[in-house]
Amino acid sequence: MRVLSLSTLFPNPVKPSFGVFVGNQMRAVVARGEVDLTVVSPLGIPPWPLSRRQPYARLKDLPPASDAVGLLVHYPRFTVIPRLGGDSNPRRIADAVLPLVRGLHAEQPFDLVDAQFFFPDGPAAAIVARELGLPLTIKSRGADIHYWGKRPAALRQMLQAADQAAGLLAVSEALKADMIALGMPPDRISVHYTGLDREAFRPVERGAARALVSALPDLNIDPDGPLLVTPGALIPRKGQALVIEALHRLPEAQLALAGAGEDRARLEALAARLGVADRVHFLGIVNHELLPHLLCAADVLVLPSASEGLANVWVEGLACGTPIVIPDIGGAREVVKDATAGRLVERNAAAIAEGVAELLADPPTQEQVAANAARFSWGVNAENIVRFWGDVLGDGGEGPPRCG
């Protein structure tokens, strides 16, 4: 089975953590030995002079193909217009990708075209699939549905791609329902849960993990008092401001923000205004070697996003034995099934603080928490997506292709 997979969010030598969860999935797929996989990850580069700025300047110097992230990935360039023109990205991506994939297809034909996000990847992959005369599959992950699904021009392209696709994937039952509500065909949608690196994300005794991260001078985390961690890009949708406001109601706790982004200055100003700046630690991007130790060291993982499909970091936190406090969004009820996993709370500072306080007062054991992630692994994830692709290429029996 030869699969061409398109993913605009994928690790590269300049940004090895960019879309690391998609990279993990695809490495696990290749390791099974059943799929001859070609990954194409288009890089958006703005016009000059913006292209001279970072990180675009470094991206321009990437080779057209590289195996530096553990499998061979092609990196064609397309023109992106920052903050504008997002609705028209699929056409530009397809125009950039088609010369490459036509040549690869002529050398050794593909069986299937796959998109790892619904926008802009899905409509771009739909164009490629039509040009090559191949079946199409598309996966949705959360923001690609919840954000782009509100933009009429993008939604129109997404629905056209969904109608063309032989099979669709959602990362949770809740996201599947959202796709159906947008008008996507329910009989073609299967649920494909995220994977997990079980070697890296596993319980390490909290006191030992806390001693380790507190000993790292760059983190500046005190060894004493409850530790909250909020992983994710510093953007308004992730809700770090609400956690900082909740921290004001939790006088003994510290907060570690693991991520970088445009919202940092606003969050720093908020922490200073509330008088908690000395208890808020901006860690920047935390690599995947350190992240499991940070999660194990935390008493609670708090992530009050406005929208998610089923966040990888929810599962990673649980696997480390750290309970989570999240809003009742996306697939939250599919991971927080009882109090051993954490709390589902309203998306406001008071409710977040209350949920955290309950867990600090009566914490489940790390083993109890980790049991909630027992069903997740990249091996199972890869097995399911390979089965899904196989069903699409099979006889197309009744119902959606199997993915589990």
Could you report the per-residue pLDDT of 71-97, keeping only the tens digit for each?
999 999 999 887 777 899 999 999 999
pLDDT, average across residues 203-213? 97
Please report the pLDDT score of residue 330 as a whole number: 94
Torsion sign over Cα 149, 153, 158, 160: positive
CA distances (Å), 287 to each of 158, 227, 323, in order? 33, 19, 21
pLDDT, average across residues 356-362? 98
pLDDT, average across residues 231-256? 96
Nearest to 198 by CA among 26, 23, 370: 370
Grouping H, G, I as helix, E, B as strand and the rest as coil, residue 137 is strand
How far apart CA 248 and CA 97 sit, in angstroms, is 49
Mean pLDDT (the chain, rounded): 94
Model confidence band, residue 398 (pLDDT cutoffs 50, 70, 90):
low
Q: Which residues contact 326 (CB under 8 A, 6 or more apart)?
A: 302, 303, 304, 305, 308, 311, 314, 332, 336, 342, 343, 344, 345
Please report the pLDDT score of residue 282 as a whole number: 97
User: What single string gives the DSSP state of each residue in 253-312?
Assistant: -EEEEEB--TTHHHHHHHHHHTT-GGGEEEEESPPTTTHHHHHHH-SEEE---S--SS-H
pLDDT, average across residues 211-215? 96
Q: What is the 3-class SS of 5-70, one letter each residue?
A: EECCCCCCCCCCCCCHHHHHHHHHHHHHCCCEEEEECCEEECCCCHHHCCCHHHHHCCCCEECCCC
Model confidence band, residue 51 (pLDDT cutoffs 50, 70, 90):
confident
How far apart CA 124 and CA 11 sit, in angstroms, is 19
Model confidence band, residue 396 (pLDDT cutoffs 50, 70, 90):
very low
Please report the pLDDT score of residue 87 as a whole number: 92
Strand partners, 73: 39, 66
CB 62 within 8 A of CB 14: yes
How far apart CA 39 and CA 369 sit, in angstroms, is 35
Could you report the per-residue pLDDT of 97-117, keeping only the tens digit for each?
999 999 999 999 999 999 999
How far apart CA 387 and CA 99 sit, in angstroms, is 29
Burial of 154 (0-12, 13-18, 19+ CB in 10 A): buried
Please report the pLDDT score of residue 354 as a whole number: 98
Could you report the per-residue pLDDT of 163-199, keeping only the tens digit for each?
999 999 999 999 999 999 999 999 999 999 999 999 9
pLDDT, average across residues 21-28? 96
pLDDT, average across residues 151-167? 97
**Chain centroid to CA 239:** 16
Q: What pTM value is reported for the model?
A: 0.91
Model confidence band, residue 399 (pLDDT cutoffs 50, 70, 90):
low
Helix (H) or strand (E) holding 327: strand 324-327
**Residue carrying structure tokens 């603080």:** 353
How large is the angle between the packed helices 89-107 and 121-132, nearest 10 degrees?
40
Model confidence band, residue 349 (pLDDT cutoffs 50, 70, 90):
very high
Grouping H, G, I as helix, E, B as strand and the rest as coil, residue 342 is strand
Secondary structure letter of residue 362 according to DSSP:
S
Tokens of 311: 């966040």
CB 306 within 8 A of CB 329: yes
